[in-house]
A and B are shown apart, each in its own frame.
Chain A
Amino acid sequence: MANKILPFIALAVLAILPLLTGSTYLHHLLVLWMLYALLALSLNIIVGYLGELTFGHAAFFGIGAYAAAILGMDYGLPGLPALLFAGFIAGVFGLVIGYVALRIVGPQFAILTLGFGSIIYTVTNYWVDVTRGPMGISNIPPLSFGPEWLTFSTAQEYYYVALACVVIFAYACYALVHSRTGRAFIATRENPNLASSLGIDIFHMKLLGFVVATVVAGIGGALYAHYVKVITPELMGLQYMSALIIMVIVGGRGTIAGPIIGALIYVGLLELLRPLGAMRLVIFAALLIASVIFLPGGIVSLWRRYVEQPVLRKSATPQPDARREIAP
């Protein structure tokens, strides 16, 4: 029962959060949190639901950001169409790359996506005519849906736009997991051979998940470009890519709350540890390793362990009978 109400409480808290403070600095952090949450949720489709590790996800974020920036500046298309078009372009890249890369599974897939990500990074870095190379694109127009009053300028307004995207996408993920397609995803992740023997087309299933994830990453990138107003090829660098992976893994892969909480941890710690300089990234690396080794389910698995199933925790070795009692 508690699980049914909880998302709504969380949503209410998120909705009033920026109203509690007038500090634009805190508003900025909240926007970053929501943008990263959106990206982490999209990466989570591949890492959490498809069970494949991709190192190329930041590239789609970058493609979306560049598409929105170029459409907004050179073609004067700053609003919703540009946002959707950025998602579409990222999705087209996702389709092509997924089509090639998803033929391979496991570590080789991870390496291959790293290669694709690096190609996109390299091309962005050197194709100066279009992307202005390492200088990046600056003075990107703000997100606008037409009239003056629908032009977004403050961090608070961007927060609500990003929050809306996160809520819609989180609900879509929830609905997906509970649909026939979602169960096919899980089956593919757990046992590909069994899944394919049940008539699930694994390749197309994975391609679908990959493309959806890249479209959302592209939209996230477009929002980011409009909000920050300056983008450089570094968006697609290893630094961002590892940050996204840290969020998903530390928060908890394969869940909806996990990536959102992971993004909060990342943004929060990054700011709190800012005085430490380069040392903070060492701490993040340690956090990732500790999470991988000691808490593979991420932070959200603590909730499951201590709140939902406290009985299991009391018995040192979980008895099969005890588990049956709790299961609905």
Chain B
Amino acid sequence: MDFVVFTQQVINGLVNGMAYVLIATGLTLIFGVLRIVNFAHGEFYMLGAFFTYYVMSMLGLDYISAALIATGLTAAVGILANVLFFWPLRKEHEFTILLSSLGLALLLTNGGEVVFGADPKYVASPFSDEIVEWGDLIVTQQRLVVFAVGVVVLIALYLFIKNSSMGKMMRATAQNAEGAALTGINIRRVHAWTFALACGLAAVAGALVGPTAMIYPTVGSWAVLKGFIVVIMGGLGSIPGALVGGLALGVIESLGGGYISLGFAEAIGYAIIIIVLLWRPQGLFGTAKKA
């Protein structure tokens, strides 16, 4: 086994994995705090990428500020989706909420196709063409940016949840929503903030990964599948689980794609879920209801 090729695969895997981590963290945050499985989460990744593209081409802004604006816009769409689809149904059965989010996913994907058009688009980033070399290893700057921004965003999120008063309110809601409401926590605000944060994280992933691949309106279903694999692996509702699961999935897929077959690399992720669930039905770091 060639060491350079191996290391290169691992690095590529870590970069892809960091994007999965960003997607899965949002998914796990919404589930952990609000007990909602948001099937439409991948669509916010898609919106993040498309908003970046349109802010750049229509307002003529540079990549970084376009990505920031796109993240803000997507977070706003997330709050709106919460107000329209999730908040009114919060007392309903989890089944109803899941179906409602499936409807939202279809609405955003197909609406995206109507508004953005079905043909793939390409987000131009100044970092995509620059290459960084360490000996024999080659990485594009964009990939380094994905990883670095991912690390910064996750640390910021950790500090926010740990120290800010909203973060504390979110943790209280996660532990016991009714109890939190009784102590005077404004659950409505917690809902809105959680959605804004989660959808913003998905949008950051979209804006970062956009320049490394083509974007098209159905890309959300790919993103949500990856997110689901990661959260099932790590445990639904667990942020450390999302981190470990996402990076592990990225590396395993990359190695599988490099040494076995590119096609079956996709299936490897799912195979991992099955093995993990047979061994620990609640995921590596999580808790689940058993039948």
Contact = CB atoms under 8 A, between A and B. Distances in A.
Contacts of A202: 291
B37 A118 contact: no
A104 B263 contact: no
A2 B281 CA distance: 48
- A-B CB proximity, top 5 nearest: A126-B263, A285-B106, A289-B103, A107-B37, A281-B110
B89 A238 contact: no
Interface residues of A, number: 43
B271 interface: yes
A296 B96 contact: yes
Contacts of A285: 103-107, 110-111
B106 A119 contact: no
A103 B45 CA distance: 31
Interface in A88-117: 100, 102-108, 110-112, 114-116
B54 interface: no
Interface in B261-291: 261, 263-264, 266-267, 270-271, 273-274, 277-278, 281, 288-291
A118 B114 CA distance: 26
A115 B111 CA distance: 25
B263 A125 contact: yes
B175 to A, nearest CB: 19
Contact of A110 (B37, B274, B290): B37
A104 B228 CA distance: 15
Contact of A51 (B95, B118, B281): B95
B228 A288 contact: no
A288 B85 CA distance: 12
B100 interface: yes
B236 A119 contact: no
Contacts of B94: 106-107
B102 interface: yes
Given A122-B266, A293-B89, 14 more contacts: A53-B98, A107-B31, A107-B94, A108-B236, A108-B289, A111-B236, A115-B270, A116-B270, A118-B225, A118-B270, A281-B106, A282-B111, A286-B107, A292-B99
A203 interface: yes
Contacts of A316: none
A182 interface: no
Nearest to B218: A238
B270 A242 contact: no
B289 A123 contact: no
B113 interface: yes
A281 B113 CA distance: 10
Contact of B281 (A104, A106, A123, A206): A104
Contacts of A51: 95
Contacts of A105: 289-291
7 contacts: A51-B95, A53-B95, A100-B274, A106-B95, A115-B228, A126-B267, A293-B89
B290 A111 contact: no
A202 B291 CA distance: 8
A202 B290 CA distance: 11
A289 B229 contact: no
B164 to A, nearest CB: 28
B71 interface: no
Contacts of A106: 94-95, 289
A104 B277 CA distance: 9
Interface in A191-228: 192, 202-203, 206
B10 interface: no
Interface string A277-293: 11101101110110011
B173 interface: no
A282 B270 contact: no
B19 interface: no
A100 B278 contact: yes
A218 B277 CA distance: 26
A279 B105 CA distance: 14
- Identify which of B103, B288, B290 gathers the most chain A CB atoms within 10 Å of its CB: B103
B25 interface: no
Nearest to A288: B103
Contacts of B267: 119, 122-123, 126
B117 to A, nearest CB: 9
A300 interface: no
A104 B290 contact: yes
A170 interface: no
Contacts of B229: 115
Nearest to A125: B263
A122 B37 contact: no
A249 interface: yes
A237 to B, nearest CB: 9
A111 B99 contact: no
B255 to A, nearest CB: 17
Given A107-B98, A118-B225, A203-B291, A289 B104 contact: yes
Given A122-B263, A288-B106, A282 B278 contact: no
